[in-house]
Structure 1
Amino acid sequence: MRALAAGVQEDQIAAMLLGIGVILLVGAGLGALARKVGQPKVIGEITAGIVLGPSLLGLFPGNLTERLFPSDVRPLLSAVSQVGLVLFMFVVGWEFERRLIRPHARLAAGVSLSSIVLAFGLGVAAAVVLYPHHDTVAGKHISFLAFATFMGTAMSVTAFPVLARILAENKLMDTRVGALSLASAAIDDVLAWCLLAYVSALVSSDGDYADLARIGALSVVYVAVMLVVVRPLISRLVWRWAAMERWPALLAVLCAGVFASSWVTSWIGIHQIFGAFLFGFVMPREPRRVLAAHLRRPLDDVSVILLPVFFIVTGLGVDLGALTAADCLALALVVAVACAGKLLGAIAPARLSGLSWREAKDLGVLMNTRGLTELIILNAAVSLGVLDGRMFTMLVIMALVTTAMAAPLLSRREHLTVGDLPTTRTPVADATAPRT
């Protein structure tokens, strides 16, 4: 077989293309089924990965999982999925709306910080129990600080994109519970990325505080350059080329900027998703409708193709059969800690702010939604060497459970509108999120 210049065989390329085709078909089928039963599409797509992986398809004779997704082809699938993930994170940063937070900043900050602090603390407490059984990954010892910080981060996440979709489908977007959950989740997302950046820097420095300080200093410089230099340059470029309707060229330049920014953060020592997110954050929001039609929509269309590959590659790493009886008890602990941290952490400040028990409960349920954001953080942790296969499987299942429980547990009675929020001065502007 003739080898390609990059050292990849033609049969590997063919197997990758077949694998992507299977992924898209199975993901679309189970994603549609998930929507029919009132669940976000991401639930079906992650389940598709688990179905195609060693947990189900791999149990049949003939090692079908390995035939469909050979070991030497999975890195290619992972590379394709990372392209989709980086572009998606760019859109997440672009869609981060500070105007969602401003009308309810005090209450949203209270809900967000309370739920993060409690969830993080419980995650660290759980790490004390779990660490002795998961302190070595691929033969390398992992420090307790890195493991515990990551566990706290994993428990603290709320998935803004999936949450927005659940609110829209349950007609809660214009209620005060919906407005508060969106604003709180937006704050959660930023804090979660900061925590993951810290874990990333901690692992990259391998406990060397001088190296950790170098990563921190470079990160501060990078953020400052993006805000002070890159942001006005992009704004001028977008306005000028939008007026000239140079949309294909503008899209190409922006994508190149996303990939370059991702490379810079990877070089610094933090995960590449931060570069993509920050590049999106410094993007201009206006002219909103024109940018949405000519730039956002093409990127969303790319995500429709590439993100299912990310979900299913994630699912392929889940091996339920590898979990022992002790792991099942650990899984129960992980799910209980995840739910307790977010539910109690959101309900308490909501009640103190005057929301009813029903609204406070719904807010807690919504803040407990982890979905896509959790998967991104879990995959980052795997690439950093913080999680072993069994712990990864348990946390993916936790993400599925906490996301799937949201829709059935939401109250069906009518909620008060956003105008009834105690701290509201202006209605929340319509929020959009990347498609999931």
Structure 2
Amino acid sequence: MTTQAGRQTWPGVVGGLVVLVGAGLLWGPALFDGHPGDPVARFLFSVAVILLVCHVFGAVLKRFGQPPVLGEVIGGLVLGPSVLGLLWPASQGWLFPEPVLTALNYAAQLGLIVFMFLLGCELRTDRLGSRRVVGATVLGGMGLPFVSGAGVALAAPALGGGGTGFVLFFGLALSITALPVLARILVDLGIADTRLGVTALSSAAVGDGVAWFALTVILAGTGLSGTGSVATTAGLAAALVVVTVLCVRPALRALVDRVASAQLLLGTLVVGAIGYAGVTQLIGLHPVIGAFLFGVAVPRHTPAVTRIGEQLQGFAIAILLPLFFAGVGLSTSVGLLGESGGNWLLFVLVLAVATVTKFAGAGGAARLAGLPVRDSLRLGTLMNCRGVTELVVATIGLQYGFVNELGFTILVLVAVITTAATGPLMRAVTARGGDGSPEDQAVTSERP
């Protein structure tokens, strides 16, 4: 009954959206010609188009068994020069003029700050399972891709600005695993609470912490922003961490225990996350690092914080993150690959290195740590999910000049492809191993 209703509803919804977007793109320019000085209306119209396109693609990919966030990322790419700019350049130029792009960038930064704050809040180390396996997975799953990525950067300086910062950043970019998207994939596969699922989530969580710490060191070591002094930036960053551990974290614990008003607590946490983001921007780091650090300091296991996280997550994922995806799409141009065969070879090389080293590093290290062969194959497959975290890191790299537009485009495509392939590959590996053997049953039913 529901399926039949869905079959009847979807064509009408899609048809209505096509008419709406088409009418806006056809007659919108004429409408705004009479009001060329109305930037607010143009910004609001652009936001509406972004949200519409991203959520439609998210809903479509969800029906094909993919995480909705992947569809939203693809929706952002469609609005950029890779699709809309290629098929209809005039409409893209009208839809995203420079003032609108500036406003969208600020809104996207706010979305990233909230997202990274929530990611810090979700960073848990109380369910590590086998610490030996998790430690080996993180070491192999990040170490091998990092070394290989640095080697690619040394061999292909055309991807970035050169120098030590570029080499270190590119190695880090290939070693990312996205915790939020991986968690969604594990839920969809029905293995989130199994030994394998807990190991994968724990490895991704620890890896995220290591990655953001490493990025902090790279930014502080290059001194590209803020104070401009490497020593000053490193000293201020270290001081901020010490103050967070010794002062802010106990204060937040006392606040959560004593404040009964959910609204007051919500406002305090949001203000703290944004304030920390501003501080890290001033001292020479990226704002998302401050938001992540503040999120890590927030107490866990409290109903109030859980409710606040759910409220913020709905708003950030539904409204703010699509604006970030649109910004990524507007900075990504697949046409850069088509200019020469060498660029396509670089893309294939980076994709192969990222996939193979992540699979071999995470899966191989887990096997050496004692995980069964079948579980090691699955874990290596899962850790290849790069998702939104890779996009955030790639955007930071472009902003600070570690990578150029070609390098950024390749990293974005690697993130999309590896994320889209994680679920199907995981199902294929599971099906090939069989579902009825005693080993399979133990893996899918054992709790940590």
Does the CA-based 8 Å contact 1:176-1:417 persist in structure 2?
Answer: no
Work out the CA distance in 1 between the residues paired with 2:68 and 2:413.
Answer: 16
Give the deviation of 1:61 after TM superposition.
Answer: 4.1
Q: Please tell me whether residue 56 in structure 1 is matched to residue 83 in structure 2.
A: yes
Q: Partner residue of 2:334?
A: 320
Q: Please tell me whether residue 127 in structure 1 is matched to residue 150 in structure 2.
A: no
- Residue type of the partner of 2:187? A
Q: Partner residue of 2:177?
A: 158
Work out the CA distance in 1 between the residues paired with 2:120 and 2:265.
Answer: 18
- Structure 2, unpaired ranges of 5+: 1-35
Q: Quick one: which of 374, 384, 391 aligns to 1:368?
A: 384
TM alignment of 1:271-310, pairs within 5 A: 271-287=286-302, 289-293=303-307, 295-303=308-316, 304-310=318-324
3-state SS in 1 of match to 2:98: coil
Q: Please tell me whether residue 392 in structure 1 is matched to residue 408 in structure 2.
A: yes
Give the deviation of 1:290 after TM superposition.
Answer: 3.4
Normalized per residue, which structure has more helix?
2
Give the deviation of 1:150 after TM superposition.
Answer: 0.6
TM alignment of 1:88-237, pairs within 5 A: 88-101=115-128, 103-131=129-157, 133-135=158-160, 142-205=161-224, 211-237=229-255
Does the CA-based 8 Å contact 1:100-1:182 persist in structure 2?
Answer: no
Q: After superposition, give the CA deviation of every residue in 1:143-177 in whole Å (9 maximum; x if it has no partner).
A: 42011001110011010111110000001112222
Q: Please tell me whether residue 29 in structure 1 is matched to residue 56 in structure 2.
A: yes
Q: After superposition, give the CA deviation of every residue in 1:31-55 in whole Å (9 maximum; x if it has no partner).
A: 0111111111121111111111111
- Structure 1, unpaired ranges of 5+: 1-8, 136-141, 422-426, 429-436
- Residue type of the partner of 2:145? A
TM-score of the two chains, using structure 2 as the length reference? 0.85
Q: Quick one: which of 5, 12, 17 aligns to 2:44?
A: 17
3-state SS in 2 of match to 1:58: helix
Aligned residues: CA RMSD: 2.0
Larger RCO (alpha carbons 8 Å, 6+ apart): 1
3-state SS in 2 of match to 1:99: coil
Work out the CA distance in 2 between the residues paired with 1:203 and 1:127.
Answer: 17
Does the CA-based 8 Å contact 1:179-1:418 persist in structure 2?
Answer: no
Work out the CA distance in 1 between the residues paired with 2:262 and 2:37.
Answer: 34
3-state SS in 1 of match to 2:126: helix
Give the deviation of 1:11 after TM superposition.
Answer: 2.3
3-state SS in 2 of match to 1:63: helix
Does the CA-based 8 Å contact 1:52-1:65 persist in structure 2?
Answer: yes
- Residue type of the partner of 2:212? W
Work out the CA distance in 1 between the residues paired with 2:288 and 2:369.
Answer: 35
Does the CA-based 8 Å contact 2:125-2:206 persist in structure 1?
Answer: no
- Residue type of the partner of 2:174? M
- Residue type of the partner of 2:193? D
Q: Partner residue of 2:348?
A: 332
Work out the CA distance in 2 between the residues paired with 1:401 and 1:166.
Answer: 15
3-state SS in 2 of match to 1:284: coil
Q: After superposition, give the CA deviation of every residue in 1:78-108 in whole Å (9 maximum; x if it has no partner).
A: 110111110111111111111122x321210
Q: Please tell me whether residue 80 in structure 1 is matched to residue 107 in structure 2.
A: yes
Structure 1 segments of 4 or more deviating over 6 A?
A: 418-421
Q: Please tell me whether residue 268 in structure 1 is matched to residue 283 in structure 2.
A: yes
Matched length = 400
Distance verdict in 2 for CA 1:62–1:192, change over 3 Å: closer
TM-score of the two chains, using structure 1 as the length reference? 0.87
Work out the CA distance in 2 between the residues paired with 1:145 and 1:89.
Answer: 26
Give the deviation of 1:416 after TM superposition.
Answer: 4.7
